[in-house]
Amino acid sequence: MPPDVLHFRPLLSPLVQFSPSLTSRAQENHIFCVHKYWQGRKGMTLTKKKLIPILVLILSIISILRLLSLNVKTSPFSTGISAFFPAPQHNCSSSPLSTCNTIASHTPNTTTTLTEKEFRVLSDLVALKSPCNLLIFGFQPQYLTLSNMNAAGSTIFLDDDPDKISKVRLNSNNTQIYRFEYSMPTKAGYKLLKHARQNPAACVPNPRLLQKSKCKLALKNLPLEVYEKNWDVMVVDGPSGDSPESPGRMGSIYTTSVLARAGNTSDVIVHDVDRIIEKWFSWEFLCDENLLYSKGKLWHFRIRGLSNSTRFCPVEAEI
């Protein structure tokens, strides 16, 4: 219903008084003018019909301003920022453990390069342990700093990129880099985890059985030196694992968790734990109880070896 129109009676008497001396014609003219005046006052009252165009105009202005704001956000000035922080994409399955690893850009060094703070954590650890046995799954040029810090120890890199390996120039005889082909695609992560849970006897954490293991997660064709040494520090930063079809880190994390139980104590660093595979396989085989701390996308585990346990984690820690 339209709003009520309020009529106010003037509190003051009219400015012009009718005089008996006025002629009837003049009185009629005066009454007509006063009537037109009050008609104009009534016409100024706002109704719904008059408000609708005003509201439409206001909403139109707001819509135009929002469109201008969106254009500014997607302008060339903002593309430089988004290039450094690409929007994550996901390929999710309906299984309990989804293999929806974040699909990172294939621009060089956007997936596995450590940030300054992450690399400081790793370099501080190597400096503390050096000379030590250092095993790294994956290779980045910044990792050569670690091998130089550990010149008196032994460093082995395992990577599946022949172009990357061919450009490496090692300055120490105690540092080796090997090419290793990974056969487990990231999208097979859930099936492999299910296999390990259903076959605990085959996937037992026993380093002596690793080369002949029947566990599908075991990496059995690594250089012999990898199985023979007790590793003080191990880093899982390879293979890429940045898409469902690319090689995943399921085998790297599992094999590292087995090797870590061969010596007295091993420090294990896992990178890219913001991704599903890295996170869930670390929980499954390196165990939350062994997690010392995290920094950025790094998780630092400390594993105590020489254990006769047939399980990686306590029963209550299972997911």
| pLDDT tens figures, 292-319 | 999 999 999 999 987 778 889 987 544 4
Tell me if the domain spanning 116-317 has CATH number 3.40.50.300: no
Closest to 104 measured CA to CA, from 95, 94, 91: 91
Evaluated on CA atoms 257, 259, 262, 265, the torsion sign reads negative
What local confidence, expressed as pLDDT, does residue 307 receive?
Answer: 75
pLDDT confidence tier of residue 248, bands split at 50, 70 and 90: very high
Query: Is 90 a residue whose pLDDT tops 60?
Result: no
**Residue 93's pLDDT band (cuts 50, 70, 90):** very low
Read off the pLDDT of residues 188-209 as tens digits, 9 standing for 90 and up.
999 999 999 999 999 999 999 9
Torsion on CA atoms 171, 175, 179, 182, rounded to nearest 10: -140
By C-alpha distance, which of 154, 318, 292, 297 is closest to 223?
154
Cα separation, 88 vs 8, whole angstroms: 65
Contact predicate 306/266, CB 8 Å: no
| Distance in angstroms (rounded) separating the CA atoms of residues 26 and 304 | 114
DSSP secondary structure string, 108-175? TTSSSPPPHHHHHHHHHHHHHH-S-EEEEES--GGGHHHHHHTTTSEEEEEES-HHHHHT-----TTE
Q: Picking from 21-30, 139-148, 161-170, which range would have the lowest pLDDT averaged per residue?
A: 21-30
Whole-number pLDDT of residue 107: 35
What's the average model confidence in pLDDT over 181-194? 95
The winner for highest mean pLDDT among 18-27, 106-115, 170-179 is 170-179
Average pLDDT over residues 173-190: 93
Domain extent listing, the chain = 24-73, 116-317
Query: How confident is the model at residue 164, as a pLDDT?
Result: 83
* Among 23-37, 157-171, 286-300, the least confident range: 23-37
Residue that wins the pLDDT comparison between 257 and 107: 257
pTM over 0.85? The answer is no
Sign of CA dihedral 20, 24, 26, 27: positive
Given a cut of 90, is residue 261 above it in pLDDT?
A: yes
Nearest CA to 186 out of 275, 249, 135, 93 is that of 249
CA–CA dist 299, 268 (Å, integer): 8
- 71: exposed, middle or buried (C-beta count within 10 Å: 0-12, 13-18, 19+)? exposed
- Residue 107 DSSP code: S
CB atoms within 10 A of CB 315: 6
- Separation CA 176–CA 266 (nearest Å): 20
Mean pLDDT of the chain: 78
**CA separation for the pair 191, 81 (Å, rounded):** 38
Q: How confident is the model at residue 134 (pLDDT cuts 50, 70, 90)?
A: very high
DSSP category for residue 263: S
Strand partners, 134: 155, 233
